[in-house]
Amino acid sequence: MKPLPEISAAEATNEITRLAPLLRSYTRHAALSFGSYLGANAAIREAHQLGFSFDPIANTYGGECVLITALRVYALFDADPTKVSFQRVNRHLKRSEVRDDLAQRAPGWGDWPATNYRASQITDRIALYRETYARTDWKAHGGLMGLRNIEIAHVTEDQVKNRITYAELEHFMMLACKMVGDLSLITEGLSDAADEWLDGYAELAYDFWAGHFRLLHINERAELPDWHEIRPRA
């Protein structure tokens, strides 16, 4: 992959500022996918423990969520210098002049103007971003590279599971949410609660599927007619 020509510190800072909201949006979608899997999986485990019947659609739903998460994780950490990725941001942050320029442009926070203290906060957050990025498991990410050669419509859950574990996917998502939070503060002065996205989406998915399984259980005990028999006729 041919590297792009090096750009000035000011241009690199502008690029990081442009990439940050895009990465936040893409990471949030990935968190929605993986959080939905985590919540559905927790509800399925609980249904088994309680002896409830469970809708097999939930398994399919969880598998599709994992598949989409894997594709998004690969893209978020892509090495291609032309893509929107954490690696692209980190490439700029390796340069001390870019880190200095970001600190000097420290955004104000609400009614508070940018100050030397704010600049020091930006410097600290840049260091945290780079520390988090350094924990990337590139061997696990490399396992996903094979998915690039398969048309997305034909990627299966088994092909994903053969390349990466659920624990590795969760690790990537934790890193992504942490780095997005750091980038939000670095570029916009916002304290983004991105690290809460996974738990929030998992809770929503759990509530939905656990409620669905409980309703199935109640219907079975009451021997209610199948919904196909009671739905309105056209």
Q: How many CA atoms lie within 13 A of 189 on its CB side?
A: 16
Mean pLDDT by groups of 10 residues along the chain of 234 residues: 78 95 96 95 90 81 91 91 94 95 72 62 93 94 76 72 89 96 87 83 94 81 50 46
Query: Reduced to 3 states, what is the DSSP secondary structure of residue 231?
Result: coil
Predicted local confidence at residue 86, as pLDDT: 97
List of residues 6+ apart from 110 with CB closer than 8 A: none
Q: What is the pTM of this model?
A: 0.84
Predicted local confidence at residue 160, as pLDDT: 83
| Unique residue bearing structure tokens 């996903």 | 144
Q: At 109, give phi and psi (nearest 5°).
A: -125, 105
List of residues 6+ apart from 147 with CB closer than 8 A: 70, 71, 74, 155, 159, 160, 163
Predicted local confidence at residue 49, as pLDDT: 87
3-state secondary structure 76-96: HCCCCCCCCCHHHHHHHHCCH
Predicted local confidence at residue 224, as pLDDT: 46
